[in-house]
Amino acid sequence: SFFLFFAGDSEKPRHFVVELKRINSVFAKSKKQYIEAQMEHANEEATLSKLRAQLASQHSYIHEDIHSLRRRNSELTEELKDLSLQVQECLSETVASLCSDLARLEGANILQGVILS
C-alpha cells in the first residue's frame, strides 16, 4: 500500500521514500537506545535495591551490636564494682588480721630474744 501511494517516477515521491527510510533508520536506532537505556535503568534499580537491603541489614546488625556492647559494658561495670568491694573487704579484714599476727610474732620474737639472751 505504501508503494501504491508513492508509485511513479517523480522526484517528490522518491524524496519521501528516502526521507522515510532515514526516519525509520533514526527511529530504529533511537528505539534501540531507548530499550538499552531502560534495561540499564532496570539493572541500576536492581543494584540499588540490593544495596539498600544490604545497608538496612548492616544498620540492623550495628544497632544490635550497640545494644549488646552497652549490655556487656553494664555487666562489666557491675562485676568491677563487686570486685572492688571484695578487694576492700580483703584489705580491711585480711590485712588487719595479718598486721595483728605480725605484731604478735614480733612480740614473740622480742620475748624470745630476751629469753635467749
* Residue 49 structural domain: 2-84
Q: Where are the alpha helices (DSSP H) in the chain?
A: 2-5, 11-90, 96-116
Whether 106 and 114 have beta carbons less than 8 Å apart is answered as no
Q: Is residue 100 part of a domain?
A: no
Asked whether residue 34 is assigned to any structural domain, the reply reads yes
Residue-level pLDDT at 1: 42
- Residues with Cβ < 8 Å from 16, sequence gap 6 or more? 6
- Taking only the tens of pLDDT, the chain with its 117 residues reads 444 454 455 566 888 888 888 888 878 888 889 999 999 999 999 999 999 999 998 888 888 888 999 999 999 999 999 999 999 988 888 888 888 888 888 877 666 665 554
Number of structural domains found in the chain: 1
Q: Is 53 among the domain residues?
A: yes
- 79 located within any domain: yes
Domain assignment present for residue 102? The answer is no
Nearest to 99 by CA among 91, 110, 109: 91
Residue 110, pLDDT score: 67
Residue 112 belongs to a domain: no
